[in-house]
Amino acid sequence: MYHINSFHYRICSTRKFIDKRILPTDNFKTRWVKELPIKINILMWRVAKDRLHVRSNLALRGIDIQDTSCPICSVGVESSNHIFFVCNLALEIWRKLRIWMDINIHIFTNQNDWICWFDSWARPNTSKVRIYSIVAAHFWVIWRYRNGVVFQDEVLKKGDLFDQIRSISYVWFDQIRSISYVWLFYRCKDKLNWNNWLLKPL
């Protein structure tokens, strides 16, 4: 028993040592929105931890990547921060999101900027859930578009990306709303509908 415990201890110590050297560290807690699809929560977690298989991360792992530039804009090295915040396509979508949500927020350059702003945003929880769902839809649509370009699958049209973000986030939030008010379903009237969502989501 002593030898087994000692062996187990050495394995755990080695794993922790490797994790500290390889895995990125941050001061943000893991965020899990139970009402959102599991795959979306996983994507958001992987973005926050910089664990997506973008070209810069693959190159750091020793994989031979001939071209590390962004496959969407071909400007700059492809990283999570680049494709979701700095890429020309991402910047254009962020601009449309600011206008649609009618909210004055600065231009985020990385995941930490976005999370810091979100955590300090003093608004009701309902509004925070809405904007988180919208940004999650933004990441999901951008990631799908990027994968379509890289793997030469059916590529979404750039002009349709913003509309997809609005429709996907509405479906998610509508599900959240239904779950949250299931016991009041026939006793209260939530005025949020598709037309209102298009005009003013927050």
CA separation for the pair 190, 180 (Å, rounded): 11
User: What is the mean pLDDT for each group of 10 consecutive residues in the chain (202 residues)?
Assistant: 50 57 55 84 92 92 90 93 96 96 89 92 87 95 94 83 94 68 40 85 88
Residues 6+ apart with CB under 8 A from 106: 113, 117
Q: Which residues are CB-neighbours of 56 under 8 A, at least 6 positions away?
A: 68, 77, 78, 79
* All residues at 6 or more sequence positions from 147 whose CB lies less than 8 Å from its CB, including other chains: 153
Distances (CA, A) of 8 to 5, 13, 17: 5, 9, 14
The residues, ordered by sequence, that sit 6+ positions from 88 with a Cβ below 8 Å of its Cβ are: 72, 73, 75
pTM: 0.79
Domain ranges of the chain: 2-199
- pLDDT tens digits, 31-54: 788 778 999 999 999 999 899 999
